[in-house]
Structure 1
Amino acid sequence: MQGYNVIMVYSNDKEQLLMCRRLKDPYKGLSNLVGGKIESGESGLEAAYRELQEETGVSREDIVLHHLMDFTYYLQKCYVEVYVGRLNREVKVAGDENELYWSDLNRDFFDMGLFAGEGNIGHMLEQVKMSPELLD
């Protein structure tokens, strides 16, 4: 079963969430969280920090990630680990895999015409709201 991760990166002031606009399928043109594959022999947390660095330039020194939840997709033979953290300082994000941008949190993240993941992003944000200490 192949493992993947998604990483919820909140701005230092907790007012925005780092998103990417997908440039390729799946979900081409939709907004998504950053993330990628968990490589063989790599822990989920190691993979999350690696993917975050590769896709955004955000390093371990910039953020502390917390393992929030997992999704297992038995029919697709994969699982997704979800990590969340808040930047501990202002960081200029940069990446060339997808178009990165900061989203305000007052959007409808359940809108599947705008956001990837069949409503999962909205669900993940609701879970963070239930555990605000994750962003302290």
Structure 2
Amino acid sequence: MKKLNLIIVYNPDETKVLMCKRSKDPYKGMYNFVGGKVEEHETLQEAAYRELFEETGIKKEEIILTHLMNFQYFISNIELEVFVGKLYTEISLKEEVNPLVWISRSENFCDCTRFAGECNIEHMLQQVDYYRNIVFKKL
């Protein structure tokens, strides 16, 4: 299976998540988490940190990523690995291709006119909420 990743990044006070506005399909013009392809020689964790740095400029020293979940799409032969982390401090972001924006956690992430993934984003964020003490305990 082809492996891809998504990285959920929270600001230090956990009130906002970092999203990119997609510049190409799928979901062109919609907001999604940053992420990309897992290279053959990489571990899932290495790929998540690499993609995060390439797309945002966030360094490994500025965040701890935890593997939250994965989704398997058998028909399209894709496995999507989802990581989550919280920044230690506020930082300046570097945009690679897609514009980056901090979006309030109180937004309706099931709004399919604005957010990619047919409500999967809200599901992922609810999982983070549910496991918050475990996910962010490592920080």
TM-score normalized by structure 2?
0.95
Q: Is the 8 A contact 1:14 1:135 kept in 2?
A: no
The number of equivalent residue pairs is 136
SS at match of 1:47: helix
Listed as ranges, the gaps of 5+ residues in structure 1 are none
Q: Say if 2:62 is the partner of 1:62.
A: yes
Cα pair 1:12 1:86 within 8 Å, conserved: yes
Structure 1 residue 132: Cα displacement: 1.1
CA RMSD of aligned residues (A): 0.8
Q: Distance in 2 between matches of 1:58 and 1:43?
A: 18
The percent identity for this pair of structures is: 47
5 Å matches for 1:41-80?
41-80=41-80
Residues 54 and 96, structure 2, Cα contact 8 Å, conserved in 1: no
Partner residue in 1 for 2:103: 103
**Which deviates more from structure 2 when the two are superposed, residues 89-98 or residues 23-32?**
89-98
- Structure 1 moving runs of 4+ over 6 Å: none
How far apart are the structure 2 equivalents of 1:28 and 1:75? 22
CA–CA distance in structure 1, aligned partners of residues 97 and 103 of structure 2: 18
Task: Please report how far the alpha carbon of residue 113 of structure 1 lies from its aligned counterpart in structure 2 after TM superposition.
Answer: 1.2
Superposed displacement of residue 118, structure 1: 1.4
1:44-91 per-position Cα deviation (integer Å, ceiling 9, x unaligned): 110000000000000100000000000000000011000000001111
How far off its partner does 1:96 sit? 2.7
- Answer yes or no: is the 8 Å Cα contact 1:22–1:30 preserved in 2: yes
Corresponding residue for 2:21?
A: 21
